[in-house]
Amino acid sequence: MTGIQTIDLNMTRFRAMYAAACHASLSSRRWWYQPPRDAWWDDNWFLFRRIGWPKGVKIVHMARFGRMQLVLPTGDQALLRSIVEQRAEWHANESAPTISVVPVGKSKSAFQINIPKITDFSIMATPPKFEQFFAAVEFFASFYERSSDLLPQSLRVANTKEEVLGEDDAYMRALGAMLLGFMRSTVTRLGTAMPFPLPELRRLTGATPKDNRYFASVGLMGGFLLELREDNEQEPYILSEYWSRQWGSESVRHKITASEVLHVDDQAAEV
């Protein structure tokens, strides 16, 4: 193994097919899923994140092994097993898959279920039944959000209602689009990468710790610190501050509204 991975056309094609199935079945406003990309042989793990979940929480589909995991950044497996036991009454008639708790690396744990395996990724293989995988993804999302109150505060879902912070309001949708457009144009100009996970407006208020409002950009040696505020007329806006250790401590600040992006003087006391 030289460390250089050769592109595998079968797996690259399969990942594109998987991404297309995600696009058709999963709402992009509710889920982040992996876009098509070049892949190497056996590159068959697929990642999902629900918009608004705490950092570090993700779903991993291990296709060849026939496993799906809801990974949490905690090593407390006893707590997770107790959650499985307490929530067993939800599926007393065995209508749901059996959930086990497994370690992930040195400091994480996961809820795990078994799903159909994919063993043939060639172009001649029969396409898998993607709806089975997406049903498992939605099952884990429901299980996690319904169990949120039993987890430590840092791992709880802030609010499972879709309407939080006017998510269905046209102004907030426009503000979210302006923020992502600003971030995308910034990283493109700097030659770096978009942060992962992407920011979700409802988690950007000042009540959220700064560490959870900071979004690193790979290649920038820095990232974006974001805060959702209101102006004097109670209109929401985003204050963005980004910097890179490559150019020292100086940061660049912008005020982002639903209609414009304004550079902010670092000396300004108020935005």
Confidence (pLDDT) at 167: 45
Average pLDDT over all residues of the chain: 86
Q: Determine the pLDDT at residue 4.
A: 66
Q: What was the pLDDT predicted at 81?
A: 96
For residue 90, what pLDDT band results from cuts at 50, 70 and 90? low
Question: According to the model, what pLDDT value does residue 161 have?
Answer: 40
| Cα–Cα distance for residue pair 213/228, rounded to 1 Å | 10
pLDDT in tens, 28-77: 667 889 989 999 999 999 999 987 788 899 999 999 999 999 999 999 99
Question: Global pTM?
Answer: 0.61
Q: What are 154-201's pLDDT values in tens digits?
A: 998 865 444 344 444 678 888 999 999 999 999 998 888 888 778 888
Q: How confident is the model at residue 249 (pLDDT cuts 50, 70, 90)?
A: low
Question: Could you tell me what percent of the chain has a pLDDT over 90?
Answer: 54
pLDDT at position 29: 62
Gap between the Cα atoms of 201 and 236, Å rounded? 10
The pLDDT value given to residue 160 = 42
> 70: helix, coil or strand?
strand
pLDDT number for residue 55: 87
pLDDT band at 95, cuts 50/70/90?
A: low
Top CATH class of 9-155 equals: alpha beta
Domain residue limits, the chain: 9-155, 164-264
Q: How does residue 237 score in pLDDT terms, banded at 50, 70 and 90?
A: very high
Residue 93 has pLDDT above 70, yes or no: no
In sequence order, what are the residues at sequence separation of 6 or more whose Cβ sits closer than 8 angstroms to the Cβ of residue 42? 11, 64
Report whether pLDDT(111) > 90: yes
Confidence category of residue 209, pLDDT binned at 50, 70, 90: confident
- Dist CA 260 CA 255 (whole Å): 8
pLDDT for residue 170: 76
Q: Taking the CB of residue 252, how many other CB atoms lie within 10 A of it?
A: 15
**Does 27 score more than 80 pLDDT?**
no
Q: In which band, very low, low, confident or very high, does the pLDDT at 16 lie, cut at 50, 70 and 90? A: very high
Query: For 206-239, b where at least 16 C-beta lie within 10 A, e where not — what string?
Result: eeeeeeebbbebeebebbbbbbbeeeeeeebbbb
Q: Averaged over 104-130, what is the pLDDT?
A: 95
- Distance linking the first and last C-alpha atoms of the chain: 54
Q: Is 47 helix (H, G, I), strand (E, B) or coil?
A: strand
Sort 110 into a burial class: Cβ within 10 Å, 0-12 / 13-18 / 19+: buried
